[in-house]
Amino acid sequence: MSGRGAVRVAHQHGGLGVAGSNPVAPTIVSHVEINEQIAVICSFGFYSGFTEMKKFVLMTNDDGVHAPGIQILRKTIDPVWDTVIVAPDRERSAASHALTLNRPLRVNIIDDITMAVDGTPTDCVMLSIMGLLDRRPDLIISGINNGANLGDDVIYSGTVAGAAEAALLGIPAMAVSFVDLSDTDPEWGSEVALRVAKAILRYTLPEGVFLNVNIPPSTSTQRFEVTCLGRRSYREVIVKKIDPRGRPYYWIAGQPEKWQGGESCDFAAIERGSISVTPLHLNMTAEHVLKEIASWKFGE
């Protein structure tokens, strides 16, 4: 495939194991400490033989390695650049930026460019960069997700977290989602993703910034809008049920209410049938209230 070599298997049986942290140790661990831990354990290359003249793209997601979105994306991206998929072995939707620290991780080879990890999207990206790959990706694409990641969704999304982890590691990245895959031409959607990916490689994203792309349904629009995040809340978020033994259990569910955010936000762009491209960054400091909070007299 595109001049690639074979995958080098670390262990012939049982897959690749990566140790987690001591379960009885404190759970507050800095990002740097996590990186150092995994870098020591994964100090060997796992995938090699790429075509040096081509750009190299890593793909991940939170829908799972076999999900239609990432497979459609692979068919579009693979003829253009060298590619590899490192994605969760099952659906990890709403995993947010979780890392697996309380058990080993296993990596299974699916084919010559696809590996499945029994962890989160963040695990997948970190393992790839720290140990599985012997070439640093030029770009990381997380998606294509089956479902929108608009407004507050980005806080919970494993898809967005995959791109965010790439940005933390200093690699250009994008998250991309179908608002409604059942009502969207998937090949057209993957071409949209390719166009954004080419733009990222052509230009330079600022440090710590990545793009969140949402593709509207029922259209083949060529219109892109650069947007801000909107807001939306959900009603009846917790659904309580009773099991056959009379014990309560709960689903986190609920229906979204009307979004807020004005005409420049991502929700508005999607309603207009545009492709929404939202630049996101990792510095969550509320700069506009620093001086106000600094004036508080703590401890009185």
- Cβ neighbors of 282 (< 8 A, separation 6 or more) are 164, 167, 168, 208
pTM: 0.81
What pLDDT shows up at residue 46?
Answer: 45
Between residues 121 and 204, which one has the greater pLDDT?
Answer: 121
Identify whether the C-beta of residue 144 lies closer than 8 Å to the C-beta of residue 190: yes
What backbone torsions phi and psi does residue 13 show, to the nearest 5 degrees? -130, 135
Task: Say if strands 56-60 and 139-146 run parallel, antiparallel, or are unpaired.
Answer: parallel
Condensed to tens digits (0 to 9), the pLDDT of residues 8-64 reads: 333 333 444 444 433 333 333 333 333 343 333 333 344 445 555 789 999 999 999
Per-residue pLDDT band for 100 (boundaries 50, 70, 90) equals very high
Q: What average pLDDT does the structure give for the chain?
A: 83
CA distances for 199 relative to 12, 71, 129, 153, 277, angstroms:
40, 22, 23, 24, 12
What pLDDT shows up at residue 28?
Answer: 31
Between residues 299 and 276, which one has the greater pLDDT?
Answer: 276
Q: Is a pLDDT exceeding 50 seen at residue 1?
A: no
Q: What is the mean pLDDT of residues 90-104?
A: 91
Structure tokens at 215: 């593709």
- Give percent above pLDDT 70 in the chain: 82
Q: Is a pLDDT exceeding 90 seen at residue 257?
A: no
**Total Cβ atoms within 10 A of residue 247:** 8
CA proximity to 137, closest of 122, 125, 154, 147: 125
What pLDDT shows up at residue 252?
Answer: 85
Q: Which residue has the tokens 């990706």?
A: 137
User: Would you give the end-to-end CA distance of the chain in angstroms?
Assistant: 67
Identify whether the C-beta of residue 44 lies closer than 8 Å to the C-beta of residue 131: yes
Per-residue pLDDT band for 185 (boundaries 50, 70, 90) equals confident
Per-residue pLDDT band for 211 (boundaries 50, 70, 90) equals very high
Condensed to tens digits (0 to 9), the pLDDT of residues 144-161 reads: 999 999 999 999 999 999
Q: What domains appear along the chain, each with residue ranges and CATH number?
A: 16-294 (3.40.1210.10)
Q: Cα(153)–Cα(148) distance, rounded to whole angstroms? A: 8
For the residues of 249-281, what is the DSSP string, one character each? EEEE--EE---BS-TTBHHHHHHTTPEEEEEEE
